[in-house]
Amino acid sequence: MTKSHIFSFICGGLAALAVTMAVHAQAPHHVYELRTYTAPPGKLDALIARFRDHTEAIFKRYDLKAIGYWVPEDNKNNQLIYIVEHKSKADADKNWAAFQNDEEWKKVRAESEKDGPLTTKAPERVFMDPVDFSKLK
């Protein structure tokens, strides 16, 4: 066996080890935030439009990754529910603070609420950690 054969064997072994480690490495843990907004009667469509037309784009500047938006089927309480993915709760707090200070957001919010607020209270927030078999980690 020559030195080049031994070198090739070692390189192949290291490559196989690297692939095995990559396959078995866990995806980075993320925190998910469930947010529920309650709109006054007649304001839910305007709240949804604000998210669709403005908020979603501003979120991207601050690493606020919205997973999806929903309304309850019976929606007796005029609610909009969505989930945001964060790297950590600390990142969530930092990113929300930056979002709230965004000049475009302040303008959009003021314009959309010129005829009254689009929510009746602060959003309900629940931070969630994925369980071991969750498809989202």
Q: What is the pTM of this model?
A: 0.77
State pLDDT tens for residues 7-39.
454 544 444 444 444 434 455 678 999 999 999
**What is the C-alpha to C-alpha distance for residues 88 and 28, in angstroms, rounded to an integer?**
10
CATH number at residue 95: 3.30.70.100
**What is the C-alpha to C-alpha distance for residues 71 and 37, in angstroms, rounded to an integer?**
10
As beta bridge partners, residue 29 has none
- 112: containing domain: 31-128
Overall domain count for the chain? 1
State pLDDT tens for residues 74-96.
999 999 999 999 999 999 999 99
Asked whether residue 21 is domain-assigned, the answer is: no
